[in-house]
Amino acid sequence: MSDKKISSAVIKRLPRYYRYLGELLENDVVRISSKELSERMHVTASQIRQDLNNFGGFGQQGYGYNVEHLHKEIEKILGLEKTYNVIIVGVGNLGQALANYIDFERKGFVIIGLFDVNPRLVGMTVRGIEVKDIDEMEAFVRENTVDIAVLTLPKAKAPKVATDIVSYGVKGIWNFAPIDLQLRDADATVENVHLSESLMTLSYRLSNTDME
Amino acid sequence: MSDKKISSAVIKRLPRYYRYLGELLENDVVRISSKELSERMHVTASQIRQDLNNFGGFGQQGYGYNVEHLHKEIEKILGLEKTYNVIIVGVGNLGQALANYIDFERKGFVIIGLFDVNPRLVGMTVRGIEVKDIDEMEAFVRENTVDIAVLTLPKAKAPKVATDIVSYGVKGIWNFAPIDLQLRDADATVENVHLSESLMTLSYRLSNTDME
């Protein structure tokens, strides 16, 4: 890998390339031109070439891209050849939905712990994993290697829990609370998912159809 | 409203402005300069001014923004002064999580129907709404005003269901299936949520911390 900084816009597009290449693989497509790929993905061919050139290119003049090779390379770039140990903090409906989503495990995100404050949820089992009281979380994180903590918590609780978890050594936070978590630890990284905001862009488009 | 086309990048930032302004309102902040707002939001002040100028500005030289007024104006732009009738198709964990998320209803997205193919889910009640068999969906949509259909379905089923629902007259699709739905009906609009892709940008950053 090169040591230059890749823009976050490029990084956000990589999983999409990965998904489309995965679909091509499923359909036994061996190679694809940047033009064909661009038509499927509704982006320009030059955008695709430019994005992939950040990582060394992978295409061959007159041949296009070898689908399996490119899929594999993007997998490596995204860090998906590794396995990540994941805990979910907050095991309400959303936490359970994420715990039950087996596709994450297929991609290497393995759930090893579930935590909640609600006594009605503690002791319950989701896919063979028992929900533990959040008081047991610190010991669990210190005893196990936890790479990612998924937070499906109320807005008011998320910042403190995130700070705590990072102080126990977790480097990745996947945050579903409706707040932009800012971590002080420079080694840790947070990805905020704002479902309400996605819904609001939909209501914008429904209310402004004449402007599209 | 002006009739010029607003870029999708601007539209994606509006809900974030709305969220921050809502937090300021909760904290009884009456006015804020674009500089202060920019520091909170980690974007540049000129970006904020430029974005809001698309809709006529709202700021006053030397005063900044009136928080309540700007919040209200963005609410209107986002179409949030209206109410949307919503159905959820696929009432597994994720569908139930969305159905139970009362904040959507506070923002004007009112769930009026739940549909699933699974006989174990049909007849169940979520927040007072009974899950109906998906065979009853067409009649329901034709008899009621449905603005938005939320699809929490497997990838293989989502395209057909989306096409059907749009043909019944629904204009907005909020899609959680891991596929980019493309609608043929030019009047209808889809917002695709790709949770896996968000998780992959996190694994990218965890694997490439030296590059940040």
Can you tell me which residue has the tokens 């490596």?
A: A76
Considering Cα of B179, then B182, then B188, then B190, what sign does the dihedral take?
Answer: positive
Q: Which domain holds residue B33?
A: 8-77
Same-domain pairing of A72 and A100: no
From chain A, pick out residues whose CB is under 8 angstroms from the CB of B177. none
Residue B153's identity, in one-letter code, is L
From chain B, pick out residues whose CB is under 8 angstroms from the CB of A210. 3
Question: Is B68 part of any domain?
Answer: yes
Q: What is the mean pLDDT of residues B98-116?
A: 92
Query: Between chains, do B1 and A208 touch, taking CB under 8 Å as contact?
Result: yes
Query: Between chains, do A19 and B94 touch, taking CB under 8 Å as contact?
Result: no
Question: Is B208 part of any domain?
Answer: no
pLDDT(A54) > 60: yes
Question: In terms of DSSP H, where are the helices of chain B?
Answer: 8-26, 34-41, 45-53, 67-77, 93-100, 102-106, 137-143, 158-167, 195-207
pLDDT(B3) > 60: no
Same-domain pairing of B88 and B190: yes
Whether A176 and chain B come into contact, CB under 8 Å, resolves to no
pLDDT(A91) > 60: yes
Q: Tell me, what's the pLDDT at B57? A: 67
Minimal Cα–Cα distance from B11 to chain A, Å?
6
Same-domain pairing of A21 and A93: no
Query: Between chains, do A189 and B203 touch, taking CB under 8 Å as contact?
Result: no
Residue A50: CATH number of its domain: 1.10.10.10
Number of CB pairs < 8 Å for A and B? 194
| A94 annotated as a binding-site residue | yes
Question: Is A204 part of any domain?
Answer: no
Same-domain pairing of A64 and A33: yes
Task: Output the CA angle A104-A141-B93, nearest 5 degrees.
Answer: 35
Whether B199 and chain A come into contact, CB under 8 Å, resolves to yes
What are the C-alpha distances in Å from B52 to residues A183, B16, B55?
A: 28, 12, 6
Q: What is the mean pLDDT of residues B92-105?
A: 90
pLDDT band, residue B72 (cuts 50/70/90)? very high
Structure tokens that stand for B64 in this block: 């900044």
Q: Tell me, what's the pLDDT at B58? A: 73
Same-domain pairing of B140 and B118: yes
| B62 annotated as a binding-site residue | no
From chain B, pick out residues whose CB is under 8 angstroms from the CB of A87. none
Residue B131: CATH number of its domain: 3.40.50.720
**Secondary structure (H, E, C), B40-78:** HHCCCHHHHHHHHHCCCCCCECCCEEEHHHHHHHHHHHC
Q: What is the mean pLDDT of residues B35-59?
A: 85
| B59 annotated as a binding-site residue | no
**Closest residue in B to A9 (Cα–Cα):** B201
Q: Tell me, what's the pLDDT at A212? A: 40
Q: Tell me, what's the pLDDT at A4? A: 59
Q: What is the mean pLDDT of residues B146-165?
A: 95
Query: Between chains, do A206 and B172 touch, taking CB under 8 Å as contact?
Result: yes
| B113 annotated as a binding-site residue | no
Task: Output the CA angle B174-B180-B182, nearest 5 degrees.
Answer: 85
pLDDT band, residue B134 (cuts 50/70/90)? very high
Q: Spell A115-130 as b/e; 16+ CB within 10 A means b.
A: bbeeeebbeeebeebe
Lowest-confidence region among A42-51, A118-127, B74-83: A42-51
Same-domain pairing of B89 and B189: yes
Q: Give the total number of structural domains in chain A.
A: 2
pLDDT(A48) > 70: yes
Question: Is B209 part of any domain?
Answer: no
Question: Is A185 part of any domain?
Answer: yes
Share above pLDDT 90 across residues of chain B, in percent, rounded to a whole number: 70
Same-domain pairing of A71 and A129: no
Q: Tell me, what's the pLDDT at B63? A: 79
CB B173 within 8 A of CB B188: yes
Burial class (CB in 10 A: 0-12, 13-18, 19+), A193: buried
Nearest to A103 among B189, B196, B204 (CB): B196
Residues 11-70 of B with CB under 8 A from A: 11-12, 14-16, 18-19, 42
Q: What is the mean pLDDT of residues B133-150?
A: 97
Query: For A140-192, what is each residue's pLDDT tens digit?
Result: 999 999 999 999 999 999 999 999 999 999 999 999 998 999 888 778 999 99
Same-domain pairing of B41 and B106: no
pLDDT(B212) > 60: no
Q: What is the mean pLDDT of residues A72-101?
A: 94
Question: Is B206 part of any domain?
Answer: no
Whether B92 and chain A come into contact, CB under 8 Å, resolves to yes
Q: What is the mean pLDDT of residues A16-30?
A: 94
* Higher pLDDT among residues B167 and A63, named by residue: B167
Nearest to B79 among A171, A197, A204 (CB): A204
Same-domain pairing of B142 and B160: yes
Query: For A104-119, what is each residue's pLDDT tens digit?
Result: 888 999 999 999 999 9
Q: What is the mean pLDDT of residues B188-209?
A: 92
Task: Output the CA angle A66-A71-A76, nearest 5 degrees.
Answer: 130
Nearest to B178 among A19, A42, A208 (CB): A19
Q: What is the mean pLDDT of residues B6-26?
A: 91
- Report d(CA A110, CA A104) in Å as an integer: 7
Query: Between chains, do B197 and A5 touch, taking CB under 8 Å as contact?
Result: no
Burial class (CB in 10 A: 0-12, 13-18, 19+), A98: buried
Same-domain pairing of B69 and B116: no
Whether A184 and chain B come into contact, CB under 8 Å, resolves to no
Can you tell me which residue has the tokens 């990965």?
A: A18
| Boundary-marking domain end, from A47, A77, A107 | A77
From chain A, pick out residues whose CB is under 8 angstroms from the CB of B98. 195
From chain B, pick out residues whose CB is under 8 angstroms from the CB of A208. 1, 6, 77, 79
Question: Is B148 part of any domain?
Answer: yes
| Boundary-marking domain end, from A38, A57, A77 | A77
Q: Tell me, what's the pLDDT at A5? A: 73
| Boundary-marking domain end, from B34, B52, B77 | B77
Share above pLDDT 70 across residues of chain A, in percent, rounded to a whole number: 95
Same-domain pairing of A108 and A156: yes
**Closest to A152 (Cα-Cα) out of A98, A85, A82:** A98
Query: Between chains, do B92 and A104 touch, taking CB under 8 Å as contact?
Result: no
pLDDT band, residue B211 (cuts 50/70/90)? very low
What is the pLDDT of chain A when averaged over all its residues? 90
pLDDT(B102) > 70: yes
Query: Between chains, do A79 and B203 touch, taking CB under 8 Å as contact?
Result: yes
pLDDT band, residue A70 (cuts 50/70/90)? very high
Lowest-confidence region among A1-5, A60-64, A108-112, B69-73: A1-5
**Backbone torsion region of residue A123, taken as left when φ is above 0, otherwise alpha when ψ lies between -120 and 50, otherwise beta:** left
Residues 124-143 of B with CB under 8 A from A: none
pLDDT(B1) > 70: no
Question: Is A21 part of any domain?
Answer: yes
- Report d(CA B149, CA B126) in Å as an integer: 17
Nearest to B202 among A18, A174, A211 (CB): A174
**Closest to A138 (Cα-Cα) out of A164, A117, A172, A157:** A164
Same-domain pairing of B64 and B145: no
Q: Tell me, what's the pLDDT at B9? A: 84
